């Protein structure tokens, strides 16, 4: 059982979710889909390759670029907030 969050934690969580959403929107469609299927839905590489009709090497590149793009975007946006 998780203890209830205070109002500050709720606001911070909502702000973080909004920043992540903005950064996800900045990815191209293939990168966003690959990231979502892997990190949110927990799909296997084989399943994602079948869904997106890509080869395993291309999937690795899509995921690398998606993660890198998200990291750079989040670092930039969190830096703007400071």
Residue 74 contacts residue 18 (beta carbons within 8 Å)? no
The larger pLDDT score, comparing residue 6 to residue 45, is at 45
Residues 70 and 37: their CA atoms lie apart, in Å, by 15
The larger pLDDT score, comparing residue 20 to residue 63, is at 63
Dihedral of the alpha carbons of 49, 51, 54, 55, in degrees to the nearest 10: 20
Query: Which pLDDT tens digit goes with each residue over 48-70?
Result: 999 999 999 999 999 999 999 99
Mean predicted lDDT score pLDDT of the chain: 89
Q: How far is CA 51 from CA 29, 43, 46, 55, in A?
A: 13, 10, 9, 11
């Amino acid at each position: 059982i998780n203890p209830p969050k205070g109002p500050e934690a709720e606001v911070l969580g909502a702000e973080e979710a909004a920043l992540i959403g903005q950064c996800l929107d900045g990815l191209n469609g293939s990168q966003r889909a690959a990231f979502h299927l892997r990190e949110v839905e927990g799909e296997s590489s084989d399943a994602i390759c079948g869904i997106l009709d890509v080869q395993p090497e291309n999937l690795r590149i899509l995921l690398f670029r998606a993660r890198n793009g998200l990291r750079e975007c989040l670092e930039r946006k969190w830096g703007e907030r400071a």
